[in-house]
A and B are shown apart, each in its own frame.
Chain A
Amino acid sequence: MINHYKFEDEPGLRDLFITVDDPESHVTAIETFITYRVATKTSRSEFDSSEYEVRRRYQDFLWLKSRLEEAHPTLIIPPLPEKFIMKGMVERFSEEFIETRRRALQKFLSRIADHPTLTFNEDFKIFLTAQAWELSSHKKQGPGLFSRMGQTVRAVASSVRGGVKNRPEIFMEMNDYMEIFTQKINLLDKISHRIYKEERDYFHEMKEYGPIHTLWSASEEDLVDSLKGVANCIDKCCKATEKRMTGLSENLLPVIHEYVLYSDILMGVLKRRDQIQTELESKVDALSTKKAEKDLLREEIGKLEDKVECANNALKADWDRWKQNMQYDMKSAFTNVAESNLQYYEQCLASWESFLTSQTVDLHLEEDSEDRP
């Protein structure tokens, strides 16, 4: 079965590699925006070339995502980084913001590349290979933004109306799971950010703490070594803290944040599946009430039944795959955090132990010299 392959950790099986880098600012009369270089390397025969390099802006990524959602309403389309960060701390074009977004965009594309179905999507291929003007003209064809909005609106409307009647057990479980998962992942997001903030504040205080000992050593002839030794240890711990913080912001925070976004996406997917089933159910109801056009209705119901079965199967398979990935991602991310903390404490331990050794060696030397006549 497809979901036993983890494309992410078997690079040997990958035949499509994508990187997103080189953010560049563009200023026009109307707006300022950033484009990123999207570089693709592939060995697939359906691609004319083995290497591509195009420039894309955030809007283009949004377009791709909406196309994928339209084409596969009950597949789990990976999340895009948010349009804005509401926290107010990060400016739209700050380096930090751009870098975080760049990484998330790269993750987005590589998740699509690793998805057994989405990876062969035509719009995806065009996104990776078309030059700017080609993409623009392609975008203009086909159902636009309004159609996608219509689908979501219908899905929400139907759920408001009372929703699906006979949601299969498995999807009930998925719903219950997602409700709790959403809660927990959001809490983890808050906690992790809080830890980052506390570590950063600790780092700032430590930066001031070490140098005071050096300052003190200037007025203490006999304590210079001890005081400078302590100052040195504190500085080393300070640097180790900085590394730990970086580990958190590069490994854990983006992963948890991605899954916060995923939880929204999954709720949406479940709603869309429900909506497809609702369509069928309402047609079935119509069959029992309407007198005329029964044959036509039966034909439509037949098609809808197929649609529902496809949608359900697609979602089931993708759900299993998503859960496996989630488990793997969480395991890696938290193991990394533990490893990062271990390294932090080991570095600090080493510097304090070497300071202690130097001090006790001194003491022994002093004692020895006192014994000598």
Chain B
Amino acid sequence: MEDCLLKKIEISVSEAEKRTGRNAVNMQETYTAYLIETRAVESQTEGQCSPVDSLWRRYSEFELLRNYLLVTFPHIVVPPLPEKRAEFVWHKLSADNMDPDFVERRRIGLENFLLRVASHPILCQDKIFYSFLTQEGGWKEMVNETGFQLKADSRLKALSATFRVKNPDKRFTELKHYSDELQSVISHLLRVRARVADRLYGVYKVHGNYGRVFSEWSAIEKEMGDGLQSAGHHMDVYSSSIDDILEEEEHYADQLKEYLFYAEALRAVCRKHELMQYDLEMAAQDLTSKKQQCEELATGTVRTFSLKGMTSKLFGQETPEQREAKIKVLEEQIHEGEEQLKSKNLEGRDFVKTAWADIERFKEQKNRDLKEALISYAVMQISMCKKGIQVWTNAKECFSKM
């Protein structure tokens, strides 16, 4: 593995705590704070354990960090945060941000986010990221001082670039389609999974009613009573087993959600490329038109219609001195433009190279992670089946004794 921060420090988000405070408009609010713990990685010699540093951060600070990374590293597929609000819920799950299960899963998601950034060869070297982990006070000011918000591309500009760019790199166009498909299919999968979970919950829970009725019925039956009573107990066990099963499945859903949000990160990189390419195309176009103007002035021929040409026809030609001056200015601009175009070209090619390297790295990570997630899903299903077999074997024995 390449050199990364995780080789030097251990990072964890170990706790979550409810806080109350005052917000920007001085109104009272409740929020959750998360404890980030870091510890230098030492070789374990004679039980020497390095001290743990810790600080508290809330979700909005994580968001600020991520936005900073997005702007500062536009060629990198920046890891996503866990969802802001609970989506794809099935009926039992609370959609409330304060719900303890939701908070717990968010804690895990935030830790995952930090680990992803810390294991990224480029992102982990960022000073702001390091300070986020280690410097409690004054971090927000530090981030804002970088002025990253100003560097951010306007969404409008990015959107118009998407529509007007003529020759984007084909690979990025394909990547954009891929990320759209990924987002669409994972959303669909998560939606249906939530419905399946809901139905499964129903099946298990209704069996719990058997428990109660069997028990009441057993009271009037002499021979069947024992069998009924004990079978009823197993039905209760069956019915309550679904809660843990579905809670575990939520973690699987979270793994898929991470890649759902990664799709957006991929699209961000594609948009940046389109923007740069569009900029390049505009600059080239501008240069070409200036060169043309220069040529026209020098030779006196008007090949293209221009307002200037019209006015000079109407009001008379300019003096040779005026023309000379104009040509001089244009030549300077052309020279500047050529330099700019060269550097933009270089920038663009550089961007494509580094972005594509990160995308390849991302693809490998995605394949590994998703394959592992699918395997863990299978393991969960197997565990559920084994539990079911045990309960129904016991129940069958009870019924046969009736």
A residues whose Cβ falls under 8 Å from a Cβ of B:
176-177, 180-181, 184, 187-188, 191, 194-195, 198-199, 201-202, 205-206, 208-209, 212-213, 215-216, 219-220, 222-223, 226-227, 229-230, 233, 237, 327, 330-331, 334-335, 337-339, 341-342, 344-346, 348-349, 352-353, 355-356, 359-360
Contact = CB atoms under 8 A, between A and B. Distances in A.
Contacts of B200: 202
A356 B385 contact: no
A230 B378 contact: yes
Given A219-B181, A349-B382, A352-B385, A205 B192 contact: yes
Residue among A331, A338, A344 having the largest count of chain B Cβ atoms under 10 Å: A338
Nearest to B201: A198
Contacts of B193: 209
Given A202-B203, A334-B402, A230 B374 contact: yes
A178 B203 CA distance: 30
- A contacts with B: majority SS: helix
Contact of A352 (B181, B195, B199, B378): B378
Residue among A187, A208, A352 having the largest count of chain B Cβ atoms under 10 Å: A352
A209 B189 CA distance: 7
Nearest to B379: A356
Interface of B: 178, 181-182, 185-186, 188-189, 192-193, 195-196, 199-200, 202-203, 206-207, 209-210, 213, 216-217, 219-221, 223-224, 227, 231, 367, 370-371, 374-375, 377-379, 381-382, 385-386, 388-389, 392-393, 395-396, 399-400, 402
Nearest to B224: A327
B185 A180 contact: no
Given A330-B402, A360-B375, 4 more contacts: A184-B220, A216-B185, A341-B388, A359-B374
Given A191-B209, A206-B196, A335-B400, A359 B389 contact: no
A345 B202 contact: no
Given A198-B202, A338-B396, A356-B382, A331 B370 contact: no
A220 B396 CA distance: 44
Nearest to B368: A222
A202 B196 contact: yes
A352 B400 contact: no
A338 B214 CA distance: 15
Contacts of B221: 327
26 contacts: A181-B217, A181-B220, A191-B206, A191-B213, A202-B196, A208-B192, A209-B192, A209-B193, A212-B189, A222-B367, A229-B374, A327-B224, A331-B227, A334-B231, A341-B395, A342-B393, A344-B388, A346-B389, A349-B386, A352-B381, A352-B385, A353-B382, A355-B378, A356-B375, A356-B378, A359-B378
Contacts of B382: 349, 352-353, 356
Contacts of A359: 371, 374-375, 378
B206 A226 contact: no
Nearest to B218: A184
Contact of B392 (A188, A212, A213, A342): A342
Contacts of A212: 185, 188-189, 192
